[in-house]
Chains A and B, each alone.
Chain A
Amino acid sequence: MIAIVDYEAGNLTSVARAVAHIGYRSAVTQNIDEIQNADRIIFPGVGAAGAAMESLKRLGLYHALARAFADGKPILGICLGTQVIMGFSEEDQTPCLGLIPGTVRAFKKICDSDGSRLKIPHMGWNSIQVRSAHPVLADVRDTDEFYFVHGYYPDPDVDRHILALTEYGIPFASVIGERNLIATQFHPEKSGRPGLKILENFCTWKPC
């Protein structure tokens, strides 16, 4: 059973539908016992960091996630979930979970290589450049693209936590990870075939 953590940060049904589509059972839940007993955890979310951290504390999920990480349970962060596992977010100046040290930064007014202004949020399809081989990213091809929608991006302190980079005016960490935790800034559940493949790989991943 896969627990999809519901901390009231957006609509999680699309993640549940994608997991069902690739043939795995999941439950969208805020129940701490259910999260602790799950084989794997998906930690998604859209919205703002401040409200997300408040909900995590109020629901008592803050410690449940830290413990699952320490216990070696496979965890997949998605979008806001990926930002909240970092140490600190510039969005609402929010101290976060700190499972991966680093800061979540706002895209500043940036320009493309041809000088045209880039829109914020970064919304749409972009490629990722895998820097560090990882079983969950094993099937990503150079031409694959993934669906992003975000105005902030993770900036890990430690270089080896950056598993893939994406270019949007600047290169930023689009996949980060450490031990049993992997987290994507994009939405694998909305990224067609290559996204579903990442979800599938996560569902069979055995972190060592």
Chain B
Amino acid sequence: MKLEQLAQEIGAHVETPAAPGRDDIRDVYAGDRMSDLLGAASEHTLLATHISNHGLLRLIELMDVPAVCLVNGATPDPMVVTTARDAGTALLVSPWGLYETCGRLYAALTSETQRAAPS
């Protein structure tokens, strides 16, 4: 699903947009352990996390993930925003907690696959 559309469906605010051609989200990984997030990164994975510090900055800088979604309406550090913009990683902020954010992401992505399946 296109990132713009996904953000809209879950009601998240787009802090920095996705880089052109890197906005196709196929799965989501949520977690707060850095090793897990690193291991889950792929070119189609959105990472949802509480981590909002220098670890997050490196995650964006090093892993080339298409999008990271912060939760609980967290305000990202200006340095993280700049890094995300430079890296071409979309930075979303969801007003919901991690549980509800994931629920909404799951619903949005599965309903799209179901729509796509019959054709």
- A pairs with B: no
Residues of B within 8 A of A (CB): none
Interface residues of chain A, those whose CB is within 8 Å of chain B, are none
